[in-house]
Homo-oligomer: A and B are copies of this chain.
Amino acid sequence: MTSLDRPIPVAVLGATGAVGQTFVRLLANHPWFALADVAASERSAGKAYAEAARWIAGEMPDEVASLPVVACDPREVSAPIVFSALDSSVAGDVEQAFARAGRLVLTNARNHRMDPDVPLVIAEVNPGHLPLLEVQRLRRKWRGGIVANGNCAAIVITMALAPLERAFGIERVFVATLQAVSGAGYPGVPTLDILGNVIPYISGGEEEKIEREAPKMLGALRDGVIEPAPLRISAQVHRVPVEHGHTASMAIALGRRVSPDEVRETLAGWRSGIAGRALPSAPREPLVLLDERDRPQPRRDVDRGAGMTVSIGRVRPDPIGDVRMVACGHNTVRGAAGASILNAELLVADGWLPDDYAT
């Protein structure tokens, strides 16, 4: 599918928050989708979007400013595709209600990520997990469904690991992250906590998310069940005074002894799972390998591929395992809203839109 007769209406749940705003920004002028509904908490419902959102994401697209904010209720939202930027404290029930009402829910919340029948998908890495949606629909008697994104750091890490997992198998990964403040939303991290400082902790079980989600995303769908990849991950997370861009330094033991040069070739030669598909949000290069010894850097590399490319550098031998490397990606684009939108494009292209919505 390369063109649409008319754009598909989409909605954003939690549209006023930081990730919600990124959705709104990325959906402006989208070739396939038209932002039809912005939904948020009862407190915002009824206001114009421009009034309800304290906009922090650059220039607000004109067409959204006057959209009325509606409640996060399927009766208020008609769009068949729904992007969820809801906080995990409310996402669970709301997302299920939308799925039950026949909508395709693309969620950034953690609530359903590890549900056995919810695909946890990076379009380039494991598009083959999407048929799990069929299992979900059958089991839950839903016409719609939920497809989840990974945690923002988990996505960056998983994309960097995917080519190595495919080529060599991965035994274990030690990863330390340096994560941007935009990952905490808005108002998020108080300046007094992070200016000229580093915080070796991120609330909400960030480390556990990385350790559990990456194996699921790198796993295989067999007989309606995701078998996680057998790698073990040890993650240590840090918040740093960076606006956008999560950096992850990894030390990796592979399934067999592999030289850094082989790793480099494997990364450079990786063919993504959607290579050749003309999806509007797919970056030309999902992974880019940098040679400079001091890259990647979030401020300088985060916007590569309109924020959808993960940059990798410092591929070098590891004195204990096999190889060390550093990956960096845009946490609110590649690690959240952009990844969801790309998943939605893939779902549409593959015909997963509910039957009663004729494209």
Name A's B-contacting residues (CB within 8 A): 18, 56, 58, 172, 174, 176, 178, 181-182, 186-201, 211, 232-234, 236, 238, 240-243, 247, 249, 251, 293-300, 313-314, 318-321, 324, 326
Contact = CB atoms under 8 A, between A and B. Distances in A.
18 contacts: A58-B300, A174-B320, A176-B176, A178-B198, A189-B190, A189-B191, A191-B194, A195-B196, A195-B241, A195-B242, A196-B241, A197-B299, A197-B300, A198-B240, A198-B242, A234-B321, A236-B314, A238-B249
A299 B196 contact: yes
Count copies of this chain in the complex: 4
Given A189-B191, A201-B294, 10 more contacts: A174-B234, A195-B241, A197-B300, A198-B240, A200-B313, A201-B293, A201-B314, A232-B320, A233-B320, A236-B251
B233 A319 contact: yes
* Residue among A200, A313, A320 with most chain B CB within 10 A: A200
A165 to B, nearest CB: 16
A261 to B, nearest CB: 19
A304 B296 CA distance: 27
Contact of A190 (B191, B249, B293): B191
A298 B192 contact: no
Contacts of A18: 192
A236 B190 contact: no
A71 to B, nearest CB: 26
A242 to B, nearest CB: 6
Given A195-B191, A211-B319, A319-B233, A200 B251 contact: no
A53 to B, nearest CB: 13
A321 B314 CA distance: 24
Contacts of A299: 195-197, 243
Nearest to A235: B319
Given A243-B196, A249-B238, A172 B294 contact: no
A196 B297 CA distance: 10
Contacts of A243: 192, 195-196, 299
B247 A234 contact: no
A191 B181 contact: yes
B186 A192 contact: yes
Contacts of A176: 176, 236, 249
A182 B243 CA distance: 18
B234 A200 contact: no
A232 B299 CA distance: 33
Given A234-B251, A236-B249, A321-B234, A181 B195 contact: yes
Contacts of A319: 211, 232-234
Given A197-B299, A232-B320, A247-B198, A241 B191 contact: yes
Contact of A182 (B186, B187, B192, B314): B192
A195 B18 CA distance: 16
A194 B314 CA distance: 18
Given A187-B190, A195-B196, A198-B298, A178 B240 contact: yes
Nearest to A202: B294
Contact of A297 (B200, B320, B321): B200
A187 B197 contact: no
Contacts of A194: 191, 195
